[in-house]
Amino acid sequence: MPSLTIRDIPEPVLRRMRQAAKVERRSLNSQAVRWLENSATQWEVAKDLHRVVAAIRERREAMFRRHGPGIDSVELVRRTRRRGHA
C-alpha cells in the first residue's frame, strides 16, 4: 500500500488528531487515513453539489424564459394573510 509523509503539521491540528484517535481507539496513522478519506468524500460531494446547483439554475432560467418569473411565494403568503385566510 502506498505511503505519504506529511511535514510541518500545525500543532493544534496534530493535537486534535491525537485526541480523536484516542477517543475512537485508533492509531494516529489510522486516524490520519480516516480524516483523509473523509476529506476526499466531502470534496466529491461538494463537486457534485456544484453540478446539481448549476443544473437547478439552468432549469429555473429556462422556466422563467418560457413562463415568466411568476409570483414570489412571500408575496403570495402576504396576500393570503391580508384576505384573512391564514
For the chain, the domains span 11-82
The larger pLDDT score, comparing residue 72 to residue 9, is at 9
Task: Mark residue 25 as left, alpha or beta (left: phi above 0; alpha: psi -120 to 50; beta: remaining).
Answer: left
Determine contact, residues 20/9, Cβ cutoff 8 Å.
no
Q: Which three cell numbers stand for residue 74?
A: 412571500
What pLDDT digit, counting tens, does each position of 21-75 carry? 999 999 999 999 999 999 999 888 888 888 889 999 999 889 888 888 777 888 8
- pTM (2 decimals)? 0.55
Which amino acid appears at position 67 of this protein?
A: H
| pLDDT for position 28 | 96
Quickly list DSSP for 13-63: HHHHHHHHHHHTT--HHHHHHHHHHHHHHHHHHHHHHHHHHHHHHHHHHHH
